[in-house]
A and B are shown apart, each in its own frame.
Chain A
């Protein structure tokens, strides 16, 4: 497996089982998946089908119970927590449904966070944060706190935070779930712009309208991929 063939993510036979009080819950079963660099992929399915679990494993927030996972040609399914943390910091950007901005940090500090953990110098951080916020149109809100922003603005800041470290892939978990339709649209447009500029995006959504923004739609049911469709002209 090399990255020269354009495959950014490859999963083979990935399973995830949760064990709680002697109860086994099979959240994912036999997941086979490839994502190419530059692709925009959506994962859809009913509640409890395993979408978020799959995204957590894709984003290295969790590890599979079984199966193999390569990210950019590197096997990552059996990494230690600290190795996963390091790769997550450098290669993956996250956008959450609830924005998950830290309320006690300013916009600037929130966006700066991944770079801080990467050990980037202050001057470079400043330049990159500025650039990321300009990309999402939030450069004028540097010193604001999340509570002083609208939901749409908060999600833009979250997108800037996901972008700031130039990750290989953006993982978006229901990015419009907490937004009204107008702001939801705006965020989806923003993601589409990013994709057009070369970003690889993997988005979980249960909203059919937004799934069509992606060029590939994967459907999950009971922890299995049951269908995949391709959107013609999506993101274009």
Chain B
């Protein structure tokens, strides 16, 4: 212990003595460690603690997945009910479904994010209300499901934490519901839940295998592992698929731990991508530090030889150098923690609250004990990684040669040069991979921004509304409401036009799914080849308002009404995919395959719309006029001549004049809707860009460090060369050539690896090509240019060497 203390004291002295190098190295490590700690804190929140529940490892989610679809799929009621009655691995199996309701009748009408849950939902999760009670089993019967449980947040906001809230009646979509419980603070599962309503299955639902809306959770019995449960569930699912192939054939059951399910595959993928990227940055920083350590220990060969002569064993020398290296990285880690805190503050403060509440684990992101431990461990690892090679190599030097008056201990010099060169090559290769990854993500993000520019989203106001069944049970009532509303909104001064659609691009976080449809006289041979399209119901002026171009036929007219021929307009991609060699105009299509749905005559083809950032290719879309299919859920869009938010109060007045009980929500400009929808990928792109720039800087520091040290070591050689008549240009060529050779090898190694990454990203992102010229020509050129500059500076120093001085240099 005493000797370790001595080594630590000496290490501190050495670090202080070479404080410039110490601060440069600590800075490099701080960037690497800080980035790792920040991303680790996010990963910890997203992947390790996405659900604020104890005992979370005993809860599993059972979802369906389809090949080539990123999102999981919910299951239909009949599927769930069979699992619930037949599965033996679980104490309880429950389910929830997304919902959204209007709260009225007590205070201001408000749109609430609720979930329909089976009555055992909270038991499955192992939680109970803080106030009041859980749902009773009989409240899962149709007609008895008139209770609700509030989230703590909603109780605070809407009811001012009223302790007498229990038993109070609130109108939910116009129907009376009784508040029976309030959940504890912090519990909002499924994320963002503000209220929970009991789910009831009527006779029709109990045999429904088609309408997939239930997300199923199960609590494992004691001593049953997730592997066993998975095996049982797969057997059950196979049995269902055999019995009802039409409904299950294209689906594959996934049984996931609740944490993994909640984190989501995409979030997981991008978090792992960022973790990998920052790990690369740390490796680059370690290589930089290792190079500096090589230079430093080279200058200390004599000291190390003396220590060895005095009886220091090789391990003792290695230990001493490693302690120095670890002290350096710990110093870097301390600064890194500040970098991480700053980065997290930046990341957290720029996330819109409306989005953050849908990101599992977001609110738990902070620097915690785990992050501190992680930082400590990676600092230790960085210290060892960056110090081990210089230490081992230095401890091998020839002592007696080094101890001579002019001895320089150069016996391991060649090996050291090779290793330092290899480190620079690795740095360049890693940097190129990161740069290409960052470049592609940024490019993809820009493609997303530009694809939406045609809408001029900055002058569009969007808002959502749900027409409750109670007040608007008839189609005619809903159509009349929309007629009146759109006419009224269009009269607002400086509103150029008002339209409506079921969903505008990027609304609902981009989560717009398709539905099946049929084509007249073309029955499907196999169900798995089902035709699918996004179903939009719009007002006739929607295309014009959104600048969606007409390709063929006509758009809707005001005359397309309930009593005229049912019509549809289709997107170009639908026409290409389902009517490849024919004119789709005049063809008849039908939503779903239910005979009760009318055949719609295709009257027009319009340009495709990009609905979400995950969408790699155009998605077929089928439009219907709202007068023929008046929707319950609507997005109203207003084209204004300025800042759309300036029109909100006028819009609210118009709504209040038509239906004062109807809440409107998600009142935003389309610009904001789009930005919020792509904020996740924007974050990833911005972080990757920052990581790429850091990597570029660190790699150039590495090239500079190696070339600079090489020039110092070769001062004598430079003197000889110049004495022999070498020109400044020749010396420049020599030094820059060496630097560029290392860079070229690094780029040659990095390019194929970067191409692999590009292929993976191009399959994930819109607007990203695996063979992107900017990524594979532009970025390597940028890297090479920076490396050339980093080599030029030492080269300039080399040509200033006075041959006479250099020849005396030893």
B-binding residues in A (CB < 8 A): 52-53, 56, 59, 61-62, 81-82, 85-86, 88-90, 94, 96-98, 100-105, 113-114, 116-119, 121-122, 161, 165, 173, 177-178
Given contacts A61-B399, A104-B10, contact A85 B313 (CB under 8 A): yes
Give, as a whole number of angstroms, the nearest-CB distance from B674 to chain A.
61
Taking a contact as CB atoms under 8 Å apart, the answer to whether B310 and A117 are in contact is yes
Contact A82 B314 (CB under 8 A): yes
Known: A61-B400, A89-B311. 16 other contacts (CB 8 A): A52-B400, A61-B309, A61-B403, A85-B312, A88-B309, A88-B311, A94-B310, A100-B306, A102-B307, A104-B10, A104-B17, A113-B306, A117-B312, A117-B316, A122-B2, A165-B311
Q: Are A98 and B405 in contact (CB under 8 A)?
A: yes
The reply to whether B17 and A53 form a contact with Cβ atoms under 8 Å apart is: no
Asked whether A53 lies within 8 Å of B400 as measured between CB atoms, the reply is yes
A118: nearest residue on chain B (CB-CB)? B311
Bound: A20/B10 CA distance, A: 36
Identify which of residues 304-362 in chain B touch chain A, using a CB-to-CB cut-off of 8 Å. 305-314, 316
B303 contacts the other chain (CB 8 A)? yes
Please report the C-alpha to C-alpha distance between residue A88 and residue B403 in the assembled complex, in whole angstroms. 15
Q: How far is the CA of A80 from the CA of B307 in the complex (A)?
A: 18
A173: B residues at CB distance < 8 A:
403
Q: List 5 interface pairs A-B (beta carbons < 8 Å), by A numbering.
A: A52-B404, A96-B403, A98-B403, A98-B405, A104-B303
A62–B306 CA distance with the chains assembled, in angstroms: 14
* CB atoms of A114 and B310 under 8 A apart: yes
**CB distance B302 to A100 under 8 Å?**
yes
Q: Which residue from B2, B3, B14, B311 sits with its C-beta under 8 Å from A85?
A: B311
CB pair A102 B309 closer than 8 Å: no
For chain B, what secondary structure do more than half of its interface residues adopt (helix, strand, loop), or is it mixed? helix
Complex CA gap A82/B311 in Å reads 9
Cβ-neighbour of B313 out of A82, A121, A122, A177 (below 8 A): A82
Q: Return chain A residues, CB-CB under 8 Å to B316.
A: 117
CB of A102 within 8 A of CB of B311, answer: no
Residues of chain A within 8 A (CB-CB) of B2 are 121-122
Query: Which residues of the other chain, B, contact A59 by a CB distance below 8 angstroms?
Result: 309
In the complex, A100→B14 CA distance in Å?
A: 18
Q: How many residues of B contact A (CB 8 A)?
A: 25
Chain B nearest CB from A98 CB (Å) reads 5
**B399 adjacent to A161 (CB under 8 Å):** no
- Which of A81, A102, A178: most chain B CB closer than 10 A? A102
Give the distance in Å from the alpha carbon of A97 to the alpha carbon of B399 in the complex: 15
Given the complex, which residues of B lie within 8 Å of A105, measured CB to CB? 10
> Complex Cα distance A114/B310, Å?
5
B6 at the interface (CB under 8 A from A): yes
User: Is B13 an interface residue, CB under 8 A from the partner?
Assistant: yes
Q: Please give, as numbers and ranges, the residues of chain B lying within 8 Å of A82 by CB-CB distance.
A: 313-314
CB-based contact B314/A116 at 8 Å: no
Binary A-proximity of B218-246 (CB < 8 A = 1, otherwise 0): 00000000000000000000000000000
Cα-based distance from A52 to B404 in the complex (angstroms) = 9
A100 to B300, CA, bound (A): 12
A56-B3 Cα distance, complex, nearest whole Å: 27
Residue of A nearest to B9 (CB): A109
User: Which residues of B are found within 8 Å of A100, using beta-carbon distances?
Assistant: 302, 305-306, 309, 403
Task: Tell which of B302, B313, B399 touches A117, judged by Cβ atoms closer than 8 Å.
Answer: B313
How many A-B contacts if CB must be within 8 Å? 73
Contact B405 A178 (CB under 8 A): yes
Chain A nearest CB from B467 CB (Å) reads: 81
Residues of chain A within 8 A of B303, CB atoms compared: 102-104
| Centre residue among A53, A88, A90 by max chain B CB count within 10 A | A88
When chains A and B are docked, how far (Å) is the Cα of A81 from the Cα of B529?
A: 74
| B310 adjacent to A104 (CB under 8 Å) | no
Q: For residue A48, give the distance in angstroms from its CB to the closest CB of chain B.
A: 12
Closest to B306 in A: A100
Interfacial chain A residues near B10, Cβ < 8 Å: 104-105
Q: How far is the CA of A85 from the CA of B314 in the complex (A)?
A: 9
B300 nearest CB across to chain A (Å): 9
CA distance A28 to B3 in the complex (A): 38
In the bound complex, what is the Cα–Cα distance between A81 and B687 (angstroms)?
Answer: 50
Closest to A164 in B: B310
* List of A residues within 8 angstroms of B307 by Cβ: 102, 113, 117
Given known contacts A96-B403, A177-B405, A104 and B311 CB-to-CB distance under 8 angstroms: no
Contacts A116-B6, A117-B316 hold; do A89 and B310 have CB atoms under 8 A apart?
A: yes
Chain B residue, CB-CB nearest to A178: B405
- The chain A residue sitting closest to B314, CB to CB, is A81
Q: Which residues of B contact A52 (CB under 8 A)?
A: 400, 404
In the assembled complex, how far is the CB of residue A187 from the closest CB belonging to chain B, in whole angstroms?
A: 16
Chain B nearest Cβ from A123, distance in angstroms: 11
Q: Could you tell me the distance between the alpha carbons of A101 and B306 in the complex, rounded to whole angstroms? A: 8
Chain A residue numbers with a CB within 8 Å of B3 are 116, 119
A-B pairs with the 6 shortest C-beta distances? A89-B311, A56-B400, A117-B311, A61-B400, A100-B306, A114-B310
User: How many angstroms from the CA of A78 to the CA of B305 in the assembled complex?
Assistant: 21
**Does B311 contact A90, Cβ atoms closer than 8 Å?**
yes
Question: Complex: how many Å from CA A85 to CA B307?
Answer: 10
B13 near A104: Cβ-Cβ < 8 Å: yes
Which residues in A have their C-beta under 8 angstroms from that of B13? 104
B contact residues around A177 at 8 Å (CB):
405
Chain A residues with Cβ below 8 Å from B311 are: 85-86, 88-90, 114, 117-118, 165
Within 8 A of A (CB), among B62-118: none
Q: Which residues of B contact A53 (CB under 8 A)?
A: 400
B400 to A: closest C-beta gap in Å: 4
- In the assembled complex, the Cα of A59 lies from the Cα of B405 at a distance in Å of 17
Task: Mark B393-432 against chain A: 1 for CB-CB distance below 8 A, else 0.
Answer: 0000001100111000000000000000000000000000
Closest to A100 in B: B306
Closest to A98 in B: B405
Q: Least Cβ distance of A120 to chain B in Å? A: 10
Q: In whole angstroms, how far apart are the Cα atoms of A85 and B395 in the complex? A: 13
A21 to chain B, nearest CB (A): 11
CB distance from A202 to the nearest CB of B (A): 15
Cα(A165)–Cα(B311), bound, Å: 11
Rounded to whole Å, the gap between the CB of B10 and the closest CB of chain A is 7
Contact of A85 with B308 in the complex, beta carbons under 8 Å? yes
Cβ of B580 to closest chain A Cβ, rounded Å: 73
A103 contacts across to B, CB distance below 8 A: 303
Q: Inside 8 A of A89's CB, which chain B residues have their CB?
A: 310-312
What chain B residues lie within 8 Å of A86 (beta carbons)?
A: 311, 313
Closest residue of chain A to B308 (Cβ to Cβ) is A85
Once the chains are docked, how many angstroms separate the CA of A88 from the CA of B312?
A: 9
Q: How far is the CA of A103 from the CA of B2 in the complex (A)?
A: 21
Question: Which partner residue on chain B sits nearest A103 by CB separation?
Answer: B303
> Which residue of the partner chain A has the closest CB to B304?
A102
Q: Which of A96, A97, A104, A122 contacts B14 (CB 8 A)?
A: A104
Closest A residue to B315 by beta carbon equals A82
